[in-house]
Amino acid sequence: MGIEFSFIVIDDSELDCFVTQKFLERTNKSLIIKTFQHAQHALEIIQKDFNENNSVPTIIFLDLQMPFMNGFKFVEEFEKFSPEIQKNYKIIILTILSSSTNPIDIHRILTYGAVNSIVEKPLTKEKLVLLLNQVRADI
Amino acid sequence: MSGKIKILYVDDEPENLVGFKASLRLDYQILTAVNVPQAIIILNEHPEIRVVFCDQRMPGKTGVDFFEEIRMTHPLPVRIMLTAYTDVESIIDAINKGNIFRFVKKPWIEADIIWAIDEANKFYMANSMLSVKNDELQKAYNELNKFAYSVSHDIRGPLSGILGAINLASEIDDVEEMKEMLFLMEKSVKKLDAYVLSMHDYYSLQRGELKITEIDFNKVIDELKAIYSVLAKINNVTFDITIDQGEVFRSDYAPLRLIFNNLLSNAFKYQDRNNKSKSVEMTVEVKNSVATIHVKDNGIGILGSHVGEIFNLFYRSNSLEVGSGFGLYNVKSALLKLNGQIEVQSVLHQGTTFKVTIPSI
């Protein structure tokens, strides 16, 4: 089978990146996980990796509230990539949902093709297993 | 002169203007115009005019036309119609189109005019107060909006991170991995703590009254020096302080300490990690009842386009370091209380210098 998924974690909190990464490592021994504290850096890598002809399906765990480039902006920028790049990725929004999060924004972000689902922090093992099954069904 | 209420009277008959001016000029500053174009010029030159009287029947534009026009272009002055023609049509027009405040019949008696001016002035004051309050409310509302974002990002964020780590902890057997996680958890807790502390600063600054005492800058700095010298040693930063105070200085200790603490904290926080000779320099000079403080670092600097924003609440120019977005906003609020000024000079990758001047109170 080889590697089923590769992962990208985007979160400005170091601790959250660490926790998500460790949970992922526990679901599967052989996988590639990249973590980014800046959404912009993740975009650059996605662009670069495609040139190297990478075709392993990649799941992006994306936080919404980040300084500089927030999650909404990231998805908007991601949508500008060519369909060949986009089809390799599934985005899972991993965020804090609060009354200050605009429901219209949430609704809008779910209409993007690449966005698979939205999950409230903190991540748990159970949530992760469910999410991965959901992505498998989506591919 | 400047204490008098400014009034504009527009009438095509010069003798009416002269009479009006003669009886009222002692109590008010009266400006006059014989036609509408002249009146508009005066209104543009004197934005502080509070009351405008106008005759209804004038060649060219009528009083109603004039009021209808300035209602849009000069909404602040209170409009009063002064006319001998009291037919119902012109009254209705004056009210509906000109949205006038009062209607005074010619020939007028002084008491009527003075009463009308008094009432108009009260109305003007209430309106301007309302617009000041509106601005304040808008500002408070904007801050509240940012605060709502900040609560979820800066308070719930670290909490949910720590909760996630606790969930994960039951899965971890490796001690090194656990230690790494505990280190990151500690960082999150510290960040949250710093945030709550500066929020406390923010509210005490917004509410508290000034407590003026004599300030010995050596004492103020000694306390901070103890904290920052340790930080300087750990991070290998040269830390120099020069204090030159030859005279008595009076101010409020708490906001003063907050200013020093935030500026020093920033100077150490935003250092360039790769720099071999990191330095922070602080000078305090008290002269002619003014304290001038310089805090200079050779750190990462601030991007030119961000400099204008750094004093805004919750603004963070850099996400690499722990910052709450409260610090410089609090510095600015503290300086506002102490009647002080702040200037910043910064070059990206070369460093930042803050210059603060505070007058003795």
Flag if A122 and B167 touch (Cβ within 8 Å): yes
B5-108: CATH class: alpha beta
- Exposure class string for A82-103: b at 16+ Cβ within 10 A, else e: eeebbebbbbbbbbbbeebbee
Per-residue pLDDT, B306: 76
Interface test with A, best of B143, B152, B179, B182 (most A CBs within 10 A): B152
Interface test with A, best of B170, B174, B319 (most A CBs within 10 A): B319
Interface test with B, best of A100, A102, A126, A127 (most B CBs within 10 A): A100
**What integer best gives the mean pLDDT of chain A?**
84
A6-138: CATH class: alpha beta
pLDDT in tens, B276-293: 888 899 999 998 999 999
What tokens appear for A3 in the block? 């590697």
Task: Give A21→chain B minimum CA distance, Å.
Answer: 10
Flag if B164 and A101 touch (Cβ within 8 Å): no
Pairing outcome for strands A6-10 and A58-62: parallel
The mean per-residue pLDDT over the stretch A8-17 comes to 92
pLDDT at B180 over 50: yes
Question: Considering the domain B211-361 in this protein, what is its CATH number?
Answer: 3.30.565.10
pLDDT in tens, B71-99: 999 999 999 998 887 678 888 888 898 89
Q: Which residue in the block uniquely carries the two structure tokens 């999060």?
A: A101
> What pLDDT band is residue A53 in, cutting at 50, 70 and 90?
low
Cβ-nearest to B152 among A23, A65, A125: A65
Per-residue pLDDT, B205: 73
The mean per-residue pLDDT over the stretch B334-340 comes to 87
**Chain B residues touching A36 at Cβ < 8 A:** none
Among B42-46, B82-86, B345-349, the minimum mean pLDDT is found in B82-86
Flag if A15 and B185 touch (Cβ within 8 Å): yes
CA angle, residues B49, B50, B53, in degrees to nearest 5: 90
Element (H, E) at B199: helix B175-207
Flag if B181 and A99 touch (Cβ within 8 Å): no
**Chain A: residue nearest B191 by CA?**
A13
Per-residue pLDDT, B79: 95
**Domain locations along chain B:** 5-108, 211-361
